[in-house]
Amino acid sequence: MPETETCRYISSYDGCTHCQDPAYAQGFCRFHYQAYQAGEVTAEGYLDDRLSDQARRRAINFHGISPEAVYVGPGSRGSSGSGAG
């Protein structure tokens, strides 16, 4: 059976959680590939430490990761996110 290749981006949230989106190019999903092209993600699949935009860092870090695995922010819950389009 064919292996489903998933994005090799590794969230700096805990350093071992991988993005679960299907690979698009060079082992990255489309979102992280674009971030890689923009120099926001390293070739090793980590968030570039020089990226100072906190909102952007979170967007990259949490993309493709189950929200259950990433509990962030006190009192921030109940948001229904279905933006996988």
Put residue 22 in one of left, alpha, beta given phi > 0 → left and psi -120 to 50 → alpha: beta
CB nearer Zn ion, residue 5 or residue 53: 5
Task: Please identify which residue in 10, 19, 35, 60 interacts with Zn ion, judged by CB under 5 A.
Answer: 19
Q: Least CB distance from residue 78 to Zn ion, whole Å?
A: 25
45 binds Zn ion (CB under 5 A): no
CA distance 43 to 38: 11
Concatenated DSSP letters of 21-53: SBP-BTTB-HHHHHHHHTTSB-TTSBB-TT---
User: Amino acid letter at 77?
Assistant: R
CB nearer Zn ion, residue 44 or residue 74: 44
CB nearer Zn ion, residue 59 or residue 72: 59
64 binds Zn ion (CB under 5 A): yes
Give me the residues that bind Zn ion (CB under 5 A), please.
7, 9, 19, 21, 29, 32, 64
